[in-house]
Chains A and B, each alone.
Chain A
Amino acid sequence: MTTTPEVVAAPARRHLTTRGRRWRPDRAGAPIVLALVLIGGTLVFGDSFASAQNFGNIALDSSYLLLIATGMTLVILSGGIDLSVGSLLALAGVLTAYGARWGSIAAVVLPLLVCAAFGLANGLLIARARIAPFIVTLAALLFARGLAFAVADEGNTVYIIPADLTLTRLGQARWLGLHAPVWLALLAFAVGVVILNRTRFGQAVFAVGDNQEAAELMGLPVARVRLLVYVASAVLAGVAGVLVAAQTQSGLPTIGEGRELEAIAAVVIGGTLLSGGAGSLSGTLAGVLLLKVIQNLINQVGTLTAYYQQVVSGTFLIVVVLIQSRLARRRLR
């Protein structure tokens, strides 16, 4: 973040930019660990890990999570949480496959509209009716999963996306060696960074998450900000669902279970505080990559079963958060 010459909303902005510029060891944890893990992985496994193809796989695997985690970062920064994204991913996938009969545009627009509606409902219930985000998005988790199963005829019908559809070709295309979902996730991430750091809306997200009453007193549109972050999160989950469907050429109502928890883990590992108001999207990117690189490394160890992947991921989340809170506490002293 750099200072901007604009004078409007100066108090909030100055406060935030000085905080952003200071060296924060508790926030830089994830990139440092990521670098160490990458170096360690290369030293131990050599080319089987550090190959263009393997990195391409990690990038593709990370792209869906990055899309969801980008939205989740906005939501968590505003002081909320969104549990519905895993189910929305599945719903969007099913709707993409369902809508493919009417062509590519329908296959993209239908799921994104439905997801936006879910985000709007989440946001209205949270920001206007003032119900706890955890509860609202838990209900949305159930509802979206139910709807996905209903559309897919209780899982008995698997809608297939034709291979010659424009969506399939675009979704499976590769540019400069990277899959299309990777480019899209990076684009969403970049847009997110700009919005969060360079726009009034982004600064309002920080302010609302930091202290909602204070933000209200400053005259910020608190309810609108809280509503929009849920719409953004839901739409990004929808994009991830469309991309998964385009990759697999089908829509399954069972996918995406637990993805919301993975995204929350990535955001928290990236140094964003769950209480809102402090954190960064770049940290989230590091968190996403860290989770996926570690999963990849464990798969490289032939003797370890995939179950250890979960053990390591869970322990890792706890250890990283512990270290971060220790560092943050030391800084405060």
Chain B
Amino acid sequence: MLDTLRRRRDRADVLRFLQVGGVYVATALILAFNLFFTPNFATLANLRLQLVQVAPVAIVAIGMALVIATEGIDLSVGSTMAISAALLPLYIGYGVWPAIAVALVAGVAVGAVNGSLVAFAGMQPIIATLGVLVAGRGLALVFANGRLTELFDPTLDALGNESVLGVPISVLLVVTVAAIAGVVVRRAAFGRQLVAVGGNRAAANLAGLPVKRTLVAVYVVSGVLAAAAGVLSTARQGASDPSFVGLLIELSAITAVVVGGTPLSGGRVRILGTLTGALLMQLITATVIQQNLPDSTARMIQAAIIVAAVYVQRGRSRA
């Protein structure tokens, strides 16, 4: 009797461990696999490359995690990246920093539109941000006249391709954003509010929380982060390419968030898990490529991992 109880508790413990730590275990496993089986994996250059490549998705995913914590979703992030990328060459004549500022302000604007539609007009987040996804990509192409523009700016180039103390600037940016987001979520009133809004909107309302303001703010944060990711991608490529930058990144970001242990039903957010989720997906692609397997295999493995990750989290997200 006691024995079966204990065994049952052990099983529950294993399940809980998988729910919380599954993404870390999976990432550790794939790292270990690569250390043993992939030649030239554990080189500084390769590790740096993986981190630089994951940077834009990671930044977008942090914003997405905050939005999903409020029981929302932001499909417009890829289009916001495109708008930000399209604006850079138009304003770079005034200097690189004003151009970046304009791009980020555009991110604020897109986020404010999303947030207002969700908070004040009461639209479902998926519809509001779907409309902005479609319109935003079109707007970016209108701004850029549909063309790719090469940018030769030393500061922008440094932002995309240089390192400080051996760490790429884009990676430093990700770490900074993640650290701020982590502190905000755990310590700041705003972080508490957004989790409360996602957990139970009616209760948050009754408790006198500024629900609408919180919703607008969280979409603005997501918009700014997407715009920053757009700047980063443009800087790394040395070209503004509004037709392709950020295409389908909303799916990668949502995947990273969900695999990282943040339930789509809101009320909970994991920043470190989200970062690890993004890294895991990047490592899967990298591993598959370095093992000389076709890219399509990577997509199919990713699909399986999404389902597996959410399946083990299922019990918790329903509670």
Contacts and interface: CB of A to CB of B under 8 A. Distances in A.
Interface stretch (A44-52, A98-106, A144-152, A203-211): A144-152
A325 interface: yes
- Per DSSP, are chain B's interface residues mostly helix, strand or loop, or mixed? helix
A321 B117 CA distance: 10
B300 A146 contact: yes
Nearest to B146: A307
Interface string B128-145: 101111111111011001
A307 B318 CA distance: 42
Nearest to A319: B131
Contacts of A309: 138
Interface in B125-182: 126-128, 130-139, 141-142, 145-146
Contacts of B304: 139, 143
B18 interface: no
B4 to A, nearest CB: 26
A2 interface: no
B314 interface: yes
B229 interface: no
A322 interface: yes
A218 to B, nearest CB: 22
Given A143-B303, A146-B296, A311-B138, A322 B146 contact: no
A310 B131 CA distance: 9
B311 A317 contact: no
A93 to B, nearest CB: 15
Interface stretch (B38-46, B97-105, B233-241, B251-259): B251-259
Interface string B204-218: 000000000000000
A147 B300 contact: yes
A310 B303 contact: no
B112 interface: no
B146 A264 contact: no
Given A129-B314, A321-B127, A322-B121, A142 B138 contact: no
B307 A141 contact: no
B294 interface: yes
B121 A131 contact: no
- Per DSSP, are chain A's interface residues mostly helix, strand or loop, or mixed? helix
Contacts of A311: 135, 138-139, 142
Interface in B219-261: 248, 251, 254-255, 258
A147 B135 CA distance: 30
Contacts of A318: 117, 123, 127-128, 131-132, 135
Interface in A273-326: 274-275, 305, 307-315, 317-318, 321-322, 325
Contact of B141 (A129, A142, A307, A314): A307
Interface string A148-176: 11100010000000000000000000000
A149 B137 contact: no
Interface in A48-106: 81
Interface in A216-238: none
A314 B306 contact: no
A98 B138 CA distance: 34
A268 interface: yes
A138 B294 CA distance: 21
B297 A125 contact: no
A216 B216 CA distance: 37
Given A131-B314, A268-B127, A310-B141, A142 B135 contact: no
B98 to A, nearest CB: 25
Given A145-B296, A264-B130, 8 more contacts: A138-B251, A138-B254, A147-B296, A261-B133, A312-B135, A313-B135, A318-B131, A321-B131
Interface of A: 81, 125, 129-132, 134-136, 138-143, 145-150, 154, 257, 261, 264-265, 268, 274-275, 305, 307-315, 317-318, 321-322, 325
